[in-house]
Structure formats: structure tokens, C-alpha cells
Amino acid sequence: MSPSGPSRVNWVEELVRFLRTQPGVSAVRLDPSAHRVAVATVGPVELAAFEARLAEAIAAVEAQLTEGTIRTAPAGYSLRRDGGATVLERDSCATAEKLWLWRELRWPATRAEAVEEEREWRLLALLAGLCGAGGVAGVLAGYVAPAHPWEARAFFLPALVAGGWDAAKDTWENLREGRIDIHFLMLAVAAGAVCIDAWGEAVLLLFLFSISGAMEEYALDRTRREVSALLKTAPKQATVIHPGGREERVAVEQLALHQRVRVRPGEAFPSDGTVAAGRSASDESALTGEAVPVEKGRGDPVFSGTINLWGAIDFEVERLPAESTLQKIIRLIQTAQKLKAPSERFTARFGTGYTYAVIGAALAMFLFGWQVLHLAPFANPPGGRSAFYRAMTLMVVASPCALVLSIPSAILAAIAWGARHGVLFRGGAAIERLAGVDVVALDKTGTLTTGDLAVIGTESFPPGREREVLELAYALESKSDHPLARAIVRHAKAAGVALRELEDFQSLTGQGLRGRLDGTNLLLGRRELLERGPLGEWARRLPPAAAELSEVWVIGRDLVGRVLLKDEIRAESRGVLRSLRAMGVRTVMLTGDRRHAAEAVARELGLDEVRAGLSPEEKVAAIRALHLGGGTVAMVGDGVNDAPCLAAADVSVAMGARGSDAALEQAEVILMDDRIENFLAAQHLSRRARAIIRQNLAIALGVVVVMVAATAWGAVPLAAGVAAHEGSTVVVCLNSLRLLFGRNVRPAGS
């Protein structure tokens, strides 16, 4: 719709109409980008009574709300912005507002989902089929009874109605808003062909136009179905475990933080949480693209929408369903499908102006042929073509159908493929910019490394008692949930170390752990714990750990030792960086870690440059310096401290749905399940999408240029112009669909 069109205030009027019919509702808060809606009531109100009515109102105004346009509300109502949300409320006193109870509702199905359910392409295909059948019947009738042209027209007329039905609906809606587009052009050419008695060519035009429209809808429907699999994985009910072990089935919307929920084999996890009891494996393929089941045990995270495979699991809710990983992903995808790339916005603006230009050129050609070339104005002379016929042909071959579709069809297909394979794009702009990236800045911890420490060795003083050190560390750390403790416990179990029972276990806040074993006091903690004791002078002479290592000291009656740990480098990082260099992309590490630790990782991975010891502000400065150096910069990070530099980069990439909310808010591309190799998939996909967009533009513009030149010389019959125009549209759609089914952009190692 035109921003200045008269319907710009319809969304306000629609919501006011809703409030007038619902006296129990005082205000409505809508955030279309996050797909959240809430209503304010005074006291308890039965929500089901008006939820359907509100859903109708939102469905009617969603597209306008997304644009964030604020208009003046009618008397008695106020309209304001609340962060990213729009609030429409009845005028009331401040005291009344304090009594409002805000209650969140389920966001209704979006327009895209409604179209997906209806499968509009099936209706368009049916209409195109009826048009084609009527056209064939009309041609046959013309051959059988050439002396009775009305018999052929009896078949042609319903064929024209079927073929032009969808274009007529769109044209009528546009004309009411004072706009015209390519649908108007097609109907005008068809009407003109009928006026010069070219019924068969008019039917051919509308048949090819309607079948190409069905192809376009099929392509869009296919991309939506790729994403809708995520929506279907969202569970509707959950089994809550109350104190005492009583089970209760509740709707997922009723789950509360820290509740314990039981998930049986074959069921989906209803929210994000941490496993409290049980062992199993989950199928996270719909969420992350990971084909291999992920083992789950006590302390492991679980994610909404993933499937519990074989064992019953109890987990504690850590995020409400509305804020779960699955819902974040769904909102990201829905937002991405609405955000247009710069080139896509250009073609959208270009399409309307170009339509007027085509109509003007056709009128000029008609007048030139009639007045200058002295062609017959309407009736085709024997062996020639009238000025009106040539003008109609020009309108067909110059119409921008394929041009307008060339970019959005490829962008939507790329977004859908990425969503199903662990790469989430926040709109087409990210796809376009990522294709041109020539510098990639990466955080170290949690990006190039896993962020999980692993034991690489044990030392004892005196030497030779390393296994005893590990046994004591295992006994103490088995009682702790600290990340260092989990790493030591995991390593001890893998080494087959026996777990020994402690007495008088105690956690020393900020220092370490203490316990008794066989009557002997044990201590575990940092070096400072050892240096403050009676062995302090001796401890200060012990060799320090390497800069890239962490150490945990263990003190027994006649034994001192330490466990050395190191942040694990992602196994895939080396291959990803090697591939980026082969593509001509420069790699730079930006980290707040110590220089020695950062350089050790950089040497092992082969990074081009390292900048260590950086504060968040210094990371932002480094991104700006890289940009000023002439490069298009992508930043890959995962933590809260990475959010500022993600915002400063040309393309921001966050590691996984498990990354911090601050990083995800800034990210334009999200790599699911913390898989760094998905960055390569995103890079390949964006470059392939760019190539297909260029191919589509070349096809669309090439056909227009060739056919317009041929038409100017009068060498193109209308039927050939129709076939070339609609054929290029179909080719563009099919070419874009190659992105959806392509196999050469899969993540590395998958």
C-alpha cells in the first residue's frame, strides 16, 4: 500500500472497533516484530470470549503495524509507542491504569501462514488449467466451424475469465488505492487483443500469466513449508511434576520458571531448561540442522521443540515457552521474511514507476505508428500489423514480471534453506552483505573454542603421584556444579578413576572446596589458596602454568598437585578458517583474553591476525578500523561483551541459539547449535544466492531488451511476445528454486 494512501489509519480504526466491542479490555499492546500481543483488563476476564475477535483485528492490520506508523487515535483513545510495541488504550486516569492487569495472548496466524494453509497456488493452478482448457477448446472450435466464430468465442470467454480472475482482483484493489502494476498491464493487453479480434492470443497471454503466477506461489509456498516444520514441532501441553511426585497435564502457556517438567520418549520438550533427572538423547535436527542425536544427562540443556528419543527426563524450566529458543527462531524467521534486501526494495519501487513508463511507451508507439508510419490504427492489414497491435505487443514484452520476481524469489528460497540447515538470516540484506564480506572478525572463547574447559594433564609434587591427585580432585569436584568441576569429573570418568566418598564436604565461596577423606583434610582451589597456607613460601617457587592454561590445585596430607585445563578448540575451526582463506577472506581474532592464550590459539588455527586483551569498546574500535581499511567486515561472536562490536560490523553473526540474548538481538545471521562450520554454509549460500539473483536479472532484462528491440521493428507477433515474457518469469522462479534444493551449500562436515 502507498504510505500516503487513505487506508493508512485503518489499523487504528480496526483496533478501536475491537475495544468498543470489548468493554472489559482497557488497552492492547502489539509488537509485530516479536509476534507478541497483550491486553490490559481490570480484574479477571474470560480471555476466550474475545481472543478470536482480537485475532481477526490483528490479521487485518499486521502488515501496517510492522511498518511502525503512528497515527492519531480518535477521541476517547490514545496511541503511543512502548519500546518496540504499539499501545492503543482508552483514555483514563492514572489511578485506573494502576489497576490494569496485563495478560499475554497467543499471536494469531500470520498472513504467510494463512496463505500456506490455503495453498493459493493450487487455486491459481486450477484457474490456469481452466483457462488453458478453454483456449484449446476455442482453437479446436475455430478449426471445426470457421464460419461461426461465436462458437470459438463461447469457449474463449470463460477461459479469459478464469485466466484473468486473480489479476482482476489485484488490479481492483490497487486501483482503489490509486496504483497500477503489471496485473493492470496484462488485463489491458488482453482487452486490447479482444478489441482487435485476437481472442486466441488474449487467452494465451492470460493462460501463461496465470500459470506463471501459480509457479510463483508454489515457489513461495515451498519456502514457507520449509519453515513451517519448526512451527509444528512446538508442543501444546506439558506434564508438570508437583512436590510429592503428583503429575498434571497443563497447557504450555501455563508453565512457570523453575517448575519441574517430565518428558517421556517420543514427546517434544515444551520449553528450554536443564535436565534435573534421567538420561536420554534428543533429536535437535529441526532446530539446528544437526542430524546426530544429542546425548542428555543431568545438567545438560534441553530446548523447546526438540524431541526426546528414548529415556524419560525431568527438567527444570529456565525460559518461558514464549521466550524459548524455538519461539526466538520462529520470530526471527517470520521477521526475516518481511525484511527486504536493498536490491529487493529497489525493484519493488522500480516496478511501479516502470509500469507507468511501459504504458507511456506503448501509447507513444501507437501514435508514432499511426501518425508517422501511417499504419492502420486498429485493424491488421493483410500481411501487416496495426499500430495498436504493435503497442499491445510492446506492453507485453516490456512488462517487468520477471524483473520484480528475480530478487525476492531467490531471497526467500535462501532464507528457507538456511532455516532448515542451521543458518538463520534476519532478512535479505544480511544475505546480500555476507556475500561481499572480505574480512571476518571472530571472538575466541565460545566461537573458535567451545568455551568448555578440558583436562590436558595432571602434575604432582613430588612427581609420580599424578593419578592420586586426579582421584582427590574427582572426589571433591563431584560435589560441585562449577564448569571446572564438570571438566574434571568428565576426564576422571573417562580415565576410569574410582569415585571415593568424602566426609564434611564444604564449598568455600570464592576460594575452592574442602572435605575429609579417611580422616585427612583435603583442599581444592586456586594457587592463592596454597600460597596463603604454611607452604606459601614453597608454593611461590612452583612453576606457573602456561598462559593458555587454567589450573586447579589439590592439597592433601602428604601430597600437593594440580590439574591443568585448557579451553577446547572447536574441531571444525581449523577447516573453516582454511576454507575462508581459500575464498580470499581475511580472518582476525578479537578477544578480551590474554595475549599469550590468544596467540597460542591463533598459531594452532592459522589466523591471519590477533588482537588480544580488548575491552568491548576496544573491540568496537577494532571493527571500525578494519572497516576503514577498505573491507566489508563480518563479526562472529556469542557473548554479551560481543554485542557492541556485532552492532558495529557490516554483518553480525551470533553463535547459536544458546548465545546471549544481547548477541542474538544484534545478530543478522545466527549459526545454530554453536556450529562454526555453519558460517561456511552461510557464506556459500549467500554467494550462491547473489549469483542466482544476477542470473535472474540478466534473464529478465535480457528478454525485455531483445523483445522490445524486435517489437520496435515490428518483427514480433503478440503470441511470441507473450511466450517470451511469461517464459522468462517461469525460468526466474525455477532458477530461484535451485537454492531450495541445492546440495552444494551444506555445512562443512555434515
Are residues 672 and 423 in contact, defined by beta-carbon separation less than 8 angstroms? yes
Of 182, 157, 160, nearest in space to 170 by CA: 182
- pLDDT beyond 80 at 353: no
Grid cell at residue 260: 519441574
- pLDDT beyond 50 at 747: no
pLDDT-based confidence at 615, cuts 50/70/90?
A: confident
Which residue type, as a one-letter code, is found at position 408? Answer: P
Q: Specify the DSSP element, H or E, that contains 441.
A: strand 439-442
pLDDT-based confidence at 329, cuts 50/70/90?
A: low
Grid cell at residue 325: 529458543
Q: Quote the strand ranges of 359-429, DSSP E.
A: 423-425
Q: Cα(532)–Cα(512) distance, rounded to whole angstroms?
A: 13
Grid cell at residue 116: 500456506
Predicted local distance difference test score (pLDDT) of residue 651: 86
Give mean pLDDT, residues 647-665: 67
pLDDT-based confidence at 84, cuts 50/70/90?
A: low
What angle in degrees, to the nearest 10, is found between the helix axes of 718-741 and 677-712? 180
Predicted local distance difference test score (pLDDT) of residue 352: 66
Q: Specify the DSSP element, H or E, that contains 232.
A: helix 199-232
Q: Which of the following is catalytic: 31, 181, 272, 443? A: 443
Give mean pLDDT, residues 142-171: 86
DSSP β-bridge partners for residue 492 = none
Quote the distance between the C-alpha of residue 304 and its chain's center.
17
DSSP β-bridge partners for residue 39 = 28, 103
Are residues 162 and 130 in contact, defined by beta-carbon separation less than 8 angstroms? yes
User: From the CB of residue 723, how many other CB atoms can be counted at a distance below 10 Å?
Assistant: 15
Of the chain, the percentage scoring pLDDT greater than 90 comes to 7
Predicted local distance difference test score (pLDDT) of residue 748: 42
Which residue type, as a one-letter code, is found at position 259? Answer: Q
Give mean pLDDT, residues 451-468: 84
Q: Cα(126)–Cα(733) distance, rounded to whole angstroms?
A: 19
CB crowding 22-51: b at 16 or more within 10 Å, else e: beebbbbbbbbbbbbbebbbeeebebeebe
Q: Quote the strand ranges of 55-213, DSSP E.
A: 77-82, 85-90, 100-105
Burial of 526: CB neighbours in 10 Å, binned 0-12, 13-18, 19+: middle
Of 601, 650, 641, nearest in space to 619 by CA: 641
How does pLDDT run across 10-68, given as a tens digit for each residue? 567 777 777 777 777 888 877 765 566 777 776 655 655 566 666 666 655 555 554 44
Q: Cα(571)–Cα(580) distance, rounded to whole angstroms?
A: 16
The least confident of 77-81, 543-547, 659-663 is 659-663
Are residues 638 and 443 in contact, defined by beta-carbon separation less than 8 angstroms? yes
Which residues, 6 or more positions from 543, have their beta carbon under 8 angstroms from its beta carbon?
A: none
Predicted local distance difference test score (pLDDT) of residue 122: 79
Largest CA distance in the chain: 119
CB crowding 236-262: b at 16 or more within 10 Å, else e: eebbbbeeeeeeeeeebeebeeebbbb
pLDDT-based confidence at 699, cuts 50/70/90?
A: very high
Give mean pLDDT, residues 293-304: 82
Q: Work out the mean pLDDT of the chain and round it to a whole number.
A: 76
Predicted local distance difference test score (pLDDT) of residue 337: 45
What is the SS3 string spanning 113-159? HHHHHHCHHHHHHHHHHHHHHHHHHHHHHHHHCCCCHHHHHHHHHHH
Give mean pLDDT, residues 238-266: 86
- pLDDT beyond 90 at 691: yes
More confident residue, 146 or 116: 146
Predicted local distance difference test score (pLDDT) of residue 439: 92
Give mean pLDDT, residues 407-433: 79
Predicted local distance difference test score (pLDDT) of residue 130: 92
Q: Tell me, yes or no, if 443 is annotated catalytic.
A: yes
pLDDT-based confidence at 586, cuts 50/70/90?
A: very high
String of DSSP letters for 637-671: E-SGGGHHHHHHSSEEEEE-TTS-HHHHHH-SEEE
How does pLDDT run across 514-528, given as a tens digit for each residue? 888 888 888 888 777
User: Strand 313-317 to strand 273-277: parallel, antiparallel, or no bridges (unpaired)?
Assistant: antiparallel
End-to-end CA distance of the chain: 43
Give mean pLDDT, residues 235-264: 85
Predicted local distance difference test score (pLDDT) of residue 240: 92
Predicted local distance difference test score (pLDDT) of residue 351: 56
